[in-house]
Amino acid sequence: MERFILLVLLLLAPRPVDAGSTPNLTGIAYEQRNGAALPLNAALRDDDGQIVRLGGILHGRPLVLTLGYFRCASLCSVVRANLLAALEQTNLVAGRDYSFAAVSIDPLETTQDASTIKAKELAAHSVFEPGELHFLTGERDAVTNLAEAVGFKSRALQENRFAHPLGVVLVSPSGIVSGYLLGITYPPDDLRLGLHRAAEGKIAPAESPLLLLCYDFDAATGRYTFAIMKVLQLVSAATAAIALAALARVALGERFRQ
């Protein structure tokens, strides 16, 4: 019993934070702009090297939009994988019921970067056809205008890395922000409902703010950075809650046996 209590206390103990290991992340979040208009004439480059406009991708369908960067070694790939897996489970068809665009916020990324990542995603999610998914790069102004329109607040770090919020933007067929799904997991029912709402041109209420950012693990120092630490803290909190419940049951059992 004493060892069990010690384990619970260790789980609940606050973790020390190395102030020098994490940059200033103030203001990095999705500033939700439900009802805002996207810059539909923004020129971006598709993964096949063709210049496309956001308006041309919509084709009268709602849009699933995710922003990140393709060479990210942290959570961007997790977001895309979880999003595509959830879309598979909605029973909606890409290219018929909705359009999909993953846009790089790094103006230095190229068509080759987009094409490489798209090939990996198509290999992992074979239900999608190549023409149904758009992996886009663009000039700084075009990407900045899009990010500003959807309230995507990010910050460039050293070595071509970025700290940025995690989530998905759902856009109406006319290019209006309908709603957001924040975080790294997307329940298929919520995604389906959000897409139906967007298809009808309806505007959802703002999501509850979620402070979960994409920010890399530093292999040189062996320290977890902000996003990973938040995930670990959430897991620790959940584990501690389960442990406390178990401890309470044990304590009550011993009390009744006395």
Residue 249 amino acid letter: R
| Nearest of 240, 247, 242 to residue 1 by alpha carbon | 247
Angle formed by the axes of helices 111-124 and 76-89, nearest 10°: 50
Give pLDDT, residue 28. 82
User: Rounded CA gap, 142 and 43, in Å?
Assistant: 7
**Structure token pair of residue 56:** 């041309």
Determine contact, residues 180/170, Cβ cutoff 8 Å.
yes
Name the phi and psi angles at 61, rounded to 5: -120, 160
Distance CA(90)–CA(70), nearest Å, equals: 25
Asked if 73 contacts 106 with a C-beta cutoff of 8 angstroms, the reply is no
Cα 130 versus chain centre, distance: 22
**What is the pLDDT of the chain when averaged over all its residues?**
80
Asked whether the predicted pLDDT for residue 159 surpasses 80, the reply is no
Cβ-based neighbour number of residue 123 at 10 Å: 8
35 pLDDT higher than 80: yes
Range of weakest confidence among 33-47, 67-81, 93-107, 171-185: 67-81
pTM (predicted TM-score): 0.74
Residue of 152, 153, 205 lying closest to 178 (CA atoms)? 205
> What is the C-alpha to C-alpha distance for residues 214 and 169, in angstroms, rounded to an integer?
16
CATH number of 25-210: 3.40.30.10
pLDDT band at 7 (very low <50, low <70, confident <90, very high): very low
Phi/psi for 53 (5° steps) reads -110, 145
- The DSSP bridge partners found for residue 5 are none
Contact in structure between 25 and 226 (CB atoms under 8 Å): yes
Question: Cα separation of 250 and 253, whole Å?
Answer: 5
